[in-house]
Amino acid sequence: MHISTTIWMLAACLGTVINASNVLEVNLVFPRNETYAPNDTFPVVFAFKNSERARRLNPSISYSLRDEDGDKVYNLWHELHWVNWTNQETYFAHKYSNAFSTEGRWSVLWTLSWDSCNVESPEYSNEVISNSTTKATMFTTSNSAPKLDPVSATANKTCTGQPGVAINVTDKTKSISSALWEGGKYTNHTCAVVAASPTPSTNPCRTQIDKTTLASMEASKLASYCDLHFNEPAECPDKKSAAQPLAVAGLSCLLGLTGALGFFLV
């Protein structure tokens, strides 16, 4: 039976197709390589798309916010050990910074680190592989830019100068002794096997910050401010609960005073 060259080529292509459900994509969603208005509570947001694939990798992110016109550098990181990777399709890791409160040129230099396993390693060997890759995004702040709005700023699904990381996480896993892998205590001592090739492509700009995500970020920011117990915003739950008894007590005093005045006026 004769099989055409076209069919053979099609079969070869299909052999290299990556199952999209296996790919973990990590991107800096905001800021993008654009211009924004300065703001003293400026969000820096990373997205783990298809986040369930991260649960066996023990991932972490460290990053530097750099003033390209000066010497200021702010180093930050995300501890992701206790994230529930399975209850959302995309997990957003974010922090707010006051670094971008003035006009300038800035960069976000970020490093994604993760652990993986080699399925061909012999049992009881040092089979956990430490991986890392570093990316950078440049942006500017200008007083002439529109008011900062992460929702509208990420609505455009096409952008340039926004690199990301894609990891092809297979369904194969290995059980690793805690004596050989400290990070295993965060993954139930189970390590994922990552495919070396082909390398998946990334599309950082398809991930958007919608109104629900922004509201969740704002609530998280408020909670962190309230936990500091220093210059707490009026919206803090403790202040509201404390204000309510105070208001009741004030009303009781007012009623008592009104009753006393009524007594004297009669």
**Does 47 have pLDDT greater than 80?**
yes
User: Is residue 238 a part of any domain in this protein?
Assistant: no
User: Is residue 11 a part of any domain in this protein?
Assistant: no
**Does 213 have pLDDT greater than 80?**
yes
pLDDT of residue 229: 63
User: Is residue 230 a part of any domain in this protein?
Assistant: no
pLDDT per residue over 214-223, tens digit each? 999 999 888 8
- Name which residue leads in pLDDT, 245 or 27: 27
Q: How confident is the model at residue 257 (pLDDT cuts 50, 70, 90)?
A: very low
User: Is residue 255 a part of any domain in this protein?
Assistant: no
Would you state the structure tokens that stand for residue 31, as one six-digit string? Answer: 């800021």
Q: Can you tell me the distance from the alpha carbon of 44 to that of 160, in angstroms, rounded to the nearest whole number?
A: 18
User: Is residue 4 a part of any domain in this protein?
Assistant: no
If 0-12 CB within 10 Å is exposed, 13-18 middle and 19+ buried, where does residue 229 land?
exposed
Would you state the structure tokens that stand for residue 175, as one six-digit string? Answer: 């059980």
- Name which residue leads in pLDDT, 266 or 10: 10
**Does 152 have pLDDT greater than 60?**
yes
**Does 56 have pLDDT greater than 90?**
yes
User: Is residue 195 a part of any domain in this protein?
Assistant: yes
Looking at the structure of the chain, the number of domains it has is 1
Please enumerate in sequence order all residues whose Cβ is within 8 A of that of 12, keeping only pairs 6 or more positions apart, or say none. Answer: none
User: Is residue 263 a part of any domain in this protein?
Assistant: no
Sign of the CA dihedral running 38, 43, 49, 55: positive
Q: Which residues of 70-89 are buried (b: 16+ CB within 10 A; e: fewer)?
A: eeeeeeeebebeebebeeee
- Name which residue leads in pLDDT, 230 or 1: 230
Domain containing 32 equals 23-213
User: Is residue 221 a part of any domain in this protein?
Assistant: no
pLDDT per residue over 90-145, tens digit each? 999 999 999 999 999 999 999 999 999 976 655 555 579 999 999 999 999 999 99
**Does 266 have pLDDT greater than 70?**
no
